[in-house]
A and B are shown apart, each in its own frame.
Chain A
Amino acid sequence: MYWNKEYECMSEEKLRELQLERLKRTVKRAYEKIPYYRNKFNEAGITPEDIKNLEDLKKIPFTSKADLREVYPFGMFASPIEDIVEIHMSSGTTGKPVVAGYTLNDIEVWAEVMARCLTMAGATKKDIVQVAYGYGLFTGGFGVHYGARKIGCMIVPASAGNTRRQIEIMRDFGTTILTCTPSYALYMAEVAQEMGIEPSNLKLKAGCFGAEMWTEAMRAEIEKRFGLNAYNIYGLTEIIGPGVAHECNEKKGLHIFEDHFIAEIIDPETGDSLPDGKRGELVLTTLTREGMPMLRFRTRDITSIINEKCPCGRTFLRIERIRGRTDDMLKVRGVMLFPYQIEKAILEVQGVEPHYQIVITRPQYLDEIEVMVEMSKETFSDEIKHIENLKKKLERRIEETVGIRVKVSLVEPKSLPRSEGKAKRIIDKRSLKE
């Protein structure tokens, strides 16, 4: 099922032609309207005329999140304030927030790409879409809302939180499509059970989950608990919000809406381009954004490009599910590791619920990792030796996966903090003081 077959299944030749035409227009607009880009181009000794083919994109310097913070709040806008109709902001947990401005046309593009995403998850105008992403400065709620409205779905703008009410609404309204963060979906399943509502009896048929890292094992868990099809959605405030890429029925990678965005993969350390199939940092360029064109934005997300024909018929390239963040990348005893690796290992050891927390300390000179895993009803045994075995099995599996010895502590169920938004998986207690 396609929302816009003409574009989604466009021939590669036509697509590249369209991309080049749009790229040239975007570069020109950025150069002419945004002093930040003009300076960057001048420093690099290039002008918009130097962009003659898609390869030339690589001549343009990267834009980083730090660059965007520098021009806070409106320094990246290419449109006058009177043409900006909406603002969103990324959370400013690591510094000043990033402000994104949308023109009416940007909102229209956003609705278009989100309509494609929801259609990929099977949405039609007959569906009831519950938006449990936060509404507000965060892009999640509104992005899904615009896409669902374009399709003509019945929208339940529940926003995040108030979990018991979310579940009652799902039951009473017969919600068919749920959109929220994957950790929140699992949390809802748990709360539903506490309320005596069996999640798999709800009418949910699909869910679009994103805005945080998750794993195939979590997908299996969500699908099992709710009896739905769980799809991976990707996006970020700096580019547009959710709707940059989404999985089709194959669930083997997320199609990038290449008529609106160009994806590249680079080595996060050197900035060099990496070939398709190689994992590295995702870099995105917008092709149609008016309010805030973005050239070679470094997303800090780790993935790779899948350049293979997809059985679904879409010609757009795919990216694999996000494998980590360049800034989540933990360096422990000099070894690079990502929380998802630890999560995967835990889930492979059967029966343990996917609730865990990673605590990194440096008691003396050496980093130590402790992984706290909640004991589940299914794995609890009356005998110490079985529990000790479970602990050893977890430690061994994690060590095999990440290549580092960790200490596993089994904790009581529900003793780790639950999130209604993004899960707090890592607690880094290492102090840099000598």
Chain B
Amino acid sequence: MKIKQLSIFLENKRGRLYEALSALAKEGINIRALSIADTSEFGILRLIVTEPEKAKEILEKNEFTVKIANVIAMAVADKPGGLAEALKYLYDANINIEYIYAFVEKSGEKAVVVLRTENLDKTISLLQQKDIKLLSWDDVLAL
């Protein structure tokens, strides 16, 4: 139930985000979810795209440092408290979240969030026990 995410190292320099995204656009790579974590000097651009391996290749050709990381895509009720409920399970199980961000598209009536924790396997089995819907790669592509 892990899905692949691209992580890209960006210096805080004018145009770097644009350059990364336009390189992908030129090759017809579609972005399904995106987040930027930034510090005063550098940032990490995280992307869920349709063809992660190809996207990595394209970015590397354009001199970017790229890593593919495993994350979880989780569907939660799109209503107040929907996400909080899911996170409470992690909190109770003492699992730390490293980062979290949302998909643009919904899965049916549900909102989809990308999640990375310190222990993905444990998180997956815990959330599945609690009947939280996790998206497979095919689910993600179908969004």
On A, residues with C-beta under 8 Å from B are: 375-377, 380-384, 387-388, 409-415
Contact = CB atoms under 8 A, between A and B. Distances in A.
Contact of B39 (A377, A382, A384, A413): A384
A375 B39 contact: no
A388 B10 CA distance: 14
Contacts of A384: 37, 39, 44
19 contacts: A377-B65, A380-B9, A380-B66, A381-B67, A382-B5, A382-B7, A382-B69, A382-B116, A383-B44, A383-B98, A384-B44, A388-B39, A409-B41, A410-B9, A411-B11, A412-B10, A412-B16, A412-B65, A414-B63
Contacts of B41: 409-410
Contacts of B37: 384
B15 to A, nearest CB: 12
B95 to A, nearest CB: 15
A410 to B, nearest CB: 6
A377 B7 CA distance: 12
Contacts of A388: 39
Nearest to B68: A382
Contacts of B101: none
Nearest to A388: B39
Nearest to B42: A410
4 closest residue pairs by CB, A with B: A382-B7, A382-B69, A380-B65, A412-B11
Contacts of B69: 382
Nearest to B64: A412
Given A375-B65, A411-B11, A412-B64, A382 B42 contact: no
Nearest to B43: A384
Given A412-B64, A413-B65, A382 B11 contact: no
Contact of A382 (B63, B64, B67): B67
A163 B64 CA distance: 22
**Residue in A381, A382, A410, A411 with the greatest tally of chain B CB atoms within 10 Å:** A382
Interface of B: 5, 7, 9-11, 16, 37, 39, 41-42, 44, 46, 63-67, 69, 98-99, 116
B57 to A, nearest CB: 13
B9 A412 contact: yes
A300 to B, nearest CB: 36
B7 A415 contact: no
A145 B141 CA distance: 61
A152 B64 CA distance: 46
A415 B11 contact: yes
A409 B7 CA distance: 19
Contacts of B7: 380, 382
A413 B98 CA distance: 25
Nearest to A383: B98
**Residue in B5, B64, B65, B116 with the greatest tally of chain A CB atoms within 10 Å:** B65
Contacts of A415: 11
B63 A380 contact: no
**Residue in B10, B37, B42, B44 with the greatest tally of chain A CB atoms within 10 Å:** B42
B35 to A, nearest CB: 12
A412 B15 CA distance: 13
Nearest to A414: B63
B63 A413 contact: yes
Given A380-B66, A382-B44, A387-B44, 13 more contacts: A375-B65, A380-B9, A380-B67, A381-B67, A382-B7, A388-B39, A409-B41, A410-B11, A410-B41, A410-B42, A412-B11, A412-B64, A415-B11
Contacts of A414: 63
Contact of B46 (A377, A382, A410): A382
B107 to A, nearest CB: 24
Contacts of B67: 377, 380-382
A382 B71 CA distance: 11
B56 to A, nearest CB: 11
Contacts of B64: 412
Contacts of A411: 11
A190 to B, nearest CB: 12
A377 B66 CA distance: 7
A187 to B, nearest CB: 15
B91 to A, nearest CB: 20
Contacts of B98: 383
Nearest to A410: B42
Contacts of A376: 65
Nearest to A380: B65
A381 B65 CA distance: 10
A412 B39 contact: no
A388 B44 CA distance: 12
Contacts of A409: 41
A415 B7 CA distance: 19
